[in-house]
Amino acid sequence: MAYGVVDIEYRRISCQYPGYNLMFKVHENSRFPVYLAIVIIYQAGQSEITAVEIWREDCKQWQGMRKAFGAVWDISNPPEGSITVRFQVNGYGEQQWMQASNAIPSYWKAGVAYDSAIQLS
């Protein structure tokens, strides 16, 4: 058996989800109200989401979520009330922040997907 480097080539392709907005699915391991993990699904286009933050109304600032694994972003002790999410999109050589206001309701549930009302192109 030989150990070494394996060359891998890949190419991004543009995904399309007609009739769907970007959605935040609350991961099954989430535990209301102490631990929130989300998966961003139906992400169209060729962009990559490189950061996710949630608005903390109590201290009037954004708090970053941790990229736990794969497409899962998580945070311990999420804020009370409906949750506004913003995410950094990197694509076509530029970065921008997009915001989904009140995208996750006050009493979110594990396994449920919530519509962001926005889509990437």
Q: What is the pLDDT of residues 68-114, one digit of tens each?
A: 998 999 999 999 999 999 999 998 788 999 999 999 999 999 999 99
Specify if 1 maps to a domain. Answer: no
> Cβ distance 39 to 72 under 8 Å?
yes
Q: What is the pLDDT of residues 44-59, one digit of tens each?
A: 888 899 999 999 999 9
The domain spanning residue 109 has which CATH number?
Answer: 2.60.40.760
Which of the two residues, 46 and 35, has the higher pLDDT score? 35
Specify if 71 maps to a domain. Answer: yes
C-alpha 87/C-alpha 99 separation (Å) is 7
Specify if 70 maps to a domain. Answer: yes
C-alpha 118/C-alpha 31 separation (Å) is 26
Query: From the CB of residue 38, how many other CB atoms can be counted at a distance below 10 Å?
Result: 28
Specify if 67 maps to a domain. Answer: yes
Based on the structure, what is the number of domains in the chain? 1
- pLDDT reported for residue 121: 77
Specify if 7 maps to a domain. Answer: no
CA–centroid distance for 9 within its chain: 26
Which of the two residues, 115 and 92, has the higher pLDDT score? 115
- pLDDT reported for residue 53: 98
Specify if 18 maps to a domain. Answer: no
Specify if 99 maps to a domain. Answer: yes
Query: From the CB of residue 106, how many other CB atoms can be counted at a distance below 10 Å?
Result: 12
Name the pTM for this structure.
0.86
Give every CB contact of residue 51 below 8 A, 6+ residues apart in sequence: 64, 87, 88
Looking at residues 25-42, what average pLDDT do you find?
97
Specify if 84 maps to a domain. Answer: yes
- pLDDT reported for residue 91: 82
Tell me which residue range forms the domain holding 28: 23-115
